[in-house]
Amino acid sequence: MHSTTILLIEVGALLFALGMLGRIGRRFGLSPIPLYLLAGLAFGHGGVIPLSASEEFIEVGAEIGVILLLVMLGLEYSASELVGNLRSAAPAGLIDALFNALPGAGFAFLLGWGWEAALVLAGITWVSSSGVIAKVLGDLGRLGNRETPVILSVLVIEDLAMAFYLPLVTAVLAGVGLLGGAKALAVAVLTVVAVLVVAIRYGHAISSFISVKDAEALLLSVLGLTLFVAGVAAELKVSAAVGAFLVGIALSGPVAHNATQILSPLRDLFAAVFFVFFGLSTDPAAMPPVILPALGLAVLTMLTKVLTGVLASRRAGIALPGQIRTGLALMPRGEFSIVIAGLAVASGVEPELAPLATAYVLITVVSGPMLARLPDYTWFKSMVRKRMAVQRPVGPVTAAE
């Protein structure tokens, strides 16, 4: 059979299977990400049905998936909003980094890994999944809650921090050492600052060159600009993902709004391919030995995320129920954790890192959305009211709290 024919059969069957898995996940209120990862494990080397002809195609699609995930995140924020959130949420961001990155680094040293692997695992445990959390908030009807801006501020700080972290870890994993990593970080800082300045002052002018009246032209323009800038950023060792994120920030107004609607189906398609590709690169036989360490790390860092959310929302004057909702909402890890682990896999730093990251993301992304529903149960609300009554015995507990 012709290689192109086999490619079409494999890709077609894979996409159809992913569609069915996504439908099953949504029916049970779960994110489809863990199902896509499991599909990758099933179709990869050592899996049930290895994909051979389409592996290179899927790898390219996975790179596009990362770029689209990041540009869509950037489109959610204007440059001025990003800077404003950075100022107001900086203390919460610092707490988030200390409470969630340090346990990952410490865990890597506990396993006997080197400092490069510790740097990678710190990033994996630090960053929450913006995509999964946004979907959970929408599904649970909490987008208008008082604590939601706090959640989004923490996510914005994490997204911006990745613009500096990814170039640093990419340089370190490339073997250029701390000096090379510092140079990459300096380039990233200058690039991000320059883009933010240009976006704040000339964002509307940049967006005015792109027409929102022609959907086809808008799609081609935004997608082409994103891929071009991502490629240039990768050539400058800043990271393609960061370049895409900065393009999203630079676009504003109707262009950003319409681009979000048009690019969403493409993002969903290639993001699914990205998660599958990460599963393809992980040998299922390597998973059982790391299940218990991944579970222990997941439990520890899910608790630290809850503590982060409680402290961040308490600073914003949110009552105890909202504090708990904030902490539980921040638990899932997803796209960024897989991106970071993918960098480590490509560099061959630590063989067990990929299966550990896969198991870790699976645990948090499945249990996180389920645990986020706890505050909606009557028994949980009753328990929280009793706790509040102990803390503040005088005065009734209002519905707003």
Nearest to 3 by CA among 50, 61, 60, 52: 52
Residue 26, domain member (yes or no): no
Range(s) of the domain holding residue 358: 57-373
For residues 121 and 204, give the distance between their C-alpha atoms in angstroms, rounded to a whole number.
39
Residue 25, domain member (yes or no): no
For residues 345 and 364, give the distance between their C-alpha atoms in angstroms, rounded to a whole number.
20
Residue 73, domain member (yes or no): yes
Higher pLDDT, 1 or 262: 262
- pLDDT per position as a tens digit, 291-345: 999 999 999 999 999 999 999 999 888 988 999 999 999 999 877 788 888 888 7
pLDDT at position 353 over 50: yes
C-alpha to C-alpha distances, 335 to 77, 205, 278, nearest whole angstrom? 18, 31, 11
Break the chain down into helix, strand, coil percent, rounded to 5: 80, 0, 20
Q: Are 87 and 74 in contact (CB under 8 A)?
A: no
pLDDT at 83: 67
- pLDDT per position as a tens digit, 75-112: 876 766 666 666 777 788 888 999 999 999 999 999 99
How many separate domains does the chain show?
1
Average of per-residue pLDDT values in the chain? 81
Q: The domain that contains 129 carries what CATH number?
A: 1.20.1530.20
Stretch among 78-92, 217-231, 368-382 having the lowest mean pLDDT: 78-92
For residues 253 and 368, give the distance between their C-alpha atoms in angstroms, rounded to a whole number.
33
HEC assignment per residue over 322-341: HHHHHHHHCCCCCHHHHHHH
Residue 192, domain member (yes or no): yes
Give the burial string for 58-97 (b: 16+ CB within 10 Å, else e).
beebbbbbbbbbbbbbbbbbbbeebbebbebbeebbebbb
pLDDT at 101: 94
pLDDT at 241: 73
pLDDT at 400: 44
Higher pLDDT, 219 or 156: 219
Residue 386, domain member (yes or no): no
Residue 112, domain member (yes or no): yes
- pLDDT per position as a tens digit, 27-49: 876 777 778 878 887 876 666 67
pLDDT at 110: 93
Quickly count: other Cβ atoms within 10 Å of residue 290's Cβ.
20
For residues 65 and 59, give the distance between their C-alpha atoms in angstroms, rounded to a whole number.
10
pLDDT bucket at 118, cuts 50 / 70 / 90:
very high
Residue 4, domain member (yes or no): no
Residue 30, domain member (yes or no): no
- pLDDT per position as a tens digit, 172-193: 777 766 676 677 778 777 877 7
Q: Spell out the residues 6+ positions from residue 161 whose beta carbon is closer than 8 angstroms to its own.
A: 93, 97, 127
